[in-house]
Structure 1
Amino acid sequence: MIKFFRKIRFNLMETGKTGKYLKYAAGEIVLVVIGILIALSINNWNNDRIENQKLNTYLKALKFETQNNINRLAAALTRASKDLQMSVETISKLNAETSKNLTSDDIINLNLGPIFKIELEQSVINEIMYTGVLEHLSNDSLKKKISRINLELEDYKTSYNHARAIWDDYMLPYHSKHINVTGLWDSINNIALPKLPFKNDLDAFVYNREYANILASRARMMGNLERDIKLITTRFNALVDELDMFLDE
């Protein structure tokens, strides 16, 4: 093809048809430019197709990760609700008319221990934010919801940490001071634990304002955690619904 055009140019120059040669040369340049533009368009289309496929792959993985987190949040909500209820019941148990019948051994059965965290997944959302694949998402509403995921995860973490701090900073030191911890277990890893004759301090728990306030603070923090889990779950459900609609288009 190149030889064909070259031959035409040569013939026009040989016959002295300069005007026609210039017109032909201009036309050839236009054809070359059009060819380049077509090639660029095809290349851009192909790149867009590849990026869209990549985006959809990430969004499908994100939907799966978010659904897993919704299930995990459901378990965390159950824990928080039970802990809240137990904290309130313990306040009542220790400060009711019948509390005078409690013994120091009953303190061991308060059933209030550490507040464990159910971890949420975030590897997919972190990779999405790191790769910048959201730049190719034209749905602004969906993009906004996805961009908020790490903020939601941080809110959950913060709410949990506030609840956990009640145990770490107040309840654990208080229990260590007023409860005979050696009476909690017979052995640890098959090593017998000596039973020391220390008594549990009943007055530190029954009709005790300080401990009642600690329990009330725990209930308050668990209530906040319960509220935040419900809010995050609602937003994650909305995200999954919008991902479904987008991926089905």
Structure 2
Amino acid sequence: MLKFFRNIRKQFIAEKKISNYLLYAVGEIVLVVIGILIALAIDNANELSIKKEKEQIYLMGLKDEFQTSKIKLQELMRVNRASYEAAKDIVHLMDQEENPPEKQLSKLFIDAFASDIFFNPNNSLLFEMINSGSLKDITNDTLRIRLTNWVATIDDIANQEKFLGEQRTNIVEWFRTEGHSIRTILENTGMSAQLGIQKQKEPISNLSALKSVDFENNILLFIITSQSTTDHYIVLMEGLDNILKLLEAEIEP
């Protein structure tokens, strides 16, 4: 096409048709400009396609991470609820006139205080995106804000779990230092055999702990903190579900 315009231009110059030459010169310039614009449009389209593909990869990876985190959180909520209920059952035993069986108290003690409550979400991809600045590749503003807020929420949950862990430690420490027997608990729950520990010749009873106001106070503080932790988990689960819904809406079929 450009060769065609050049030939016409040479002809007009030879024939001294200046006005027609200028007209065709302008046409040649317009053609070049159109070509440049088409090339830029193609480049932009390719760049947008690459960004879109990259975003889809991120979205699918984040969806996998948050689905795994949801499974972890569901299990953690179950464990925390079981711990909370066992602690309440111990308080109920303290209100009874007759002592319960030693094995019952031992089992409740293990159920209530043996498990650490700690949420460890799968956030490796999210943290990588934040650290590398790739979070900006998420075009949905609401989703991008939710992902940023998720990190702050996790820090808040960690502080709550730390406080719950401190209450659990207080109970175990009180129980140990007041002359009660962890070994009796292990024996009554079958854990001694698993650990290869021989049975006591004269088992020490832990039932006297049920008469202690200090023991009751520590358990009540644990129950309050455990319930507060559950409330935090409920809010966390709602946020997690909202993020998953946004991710699923952005992922192309």
- Give the alignment's TM-score, normalised by structure 1: 0.79
Q: How many residues align?
A: 244
What residue in structure 2 maps to residue 164 of structure 1? Answer: 165
State the distance in 1 between where 2:239 and 2:105 align. Answer: 41
One-letter code aligned to 1:69: S
One-letter code aligned to 2:140: N
Q: 1:211 aligns with which of 215, 218, 226?
A: 215
State the distance in 1 between where 2:87 and 2:98 align. Answer: 17
State the distance in 1 between where 2:166 and 2:24 align. Answer: 82
* SS at structure 1 position matched to 2:251: helix
Q: Select between 37-46 and 125-134 the one with higher mean Cα deviation.
A: 125-134
The yes-or-no answer on 1:245 pairing with 2:246 is no
Structure 1 position 193, deviation (Å): 7.0
What residue in structure 2 maps to residue 12 of structure 1? Answer: 12
Kept in 1: contact 2:167–2:218 (CA 8 A)? yes
Q: Select between 144-153 and 51-60 the one with higher mean Cα deviation.
A: 144-153
* SS at structure 1 position matched to 2:54: helix
Kept in 2: contact 1:63–1:240 (CA 8 A)? yes
Structure 1 position 208, deviation (Å): 2.2
State the distance in 1 between where 2:140 and 2:119 align. Answer: 32
- Give the alignment's TM-score, normalised by structure 2: 0.77
Q: How does 1:34-113 map to 2 (within 5 A)?
A: 34-99=34-99, 108-109=106-107, 110-111=109-110, 112-113=113-114
State the distance in 2 between where 1:10 and 1:193 align. Answer: 109
Structure 1 position 136, deviation (Å): 4.5
Kept in 1: contact 2:181–2:204 (CA 8 A)? yes
Q: CA RMSD in A?
A: 3.3
Q: Percent identity?
A: 21
Structure 1 position 82, deviation (Å): 0.8
* SS at structure 1 position matched to 2:210: coil
- Segments of 5+ residues of structure 2 without an aligned counterpart are none
1:150-207 CA distances to partner (integer Å, 9 max, x unpaired)? Answer: 2333333232222112223x123323312344554758965x679698957765x233
Kept in 2: contact 1:162–1:221 (CA 8 A)? yes
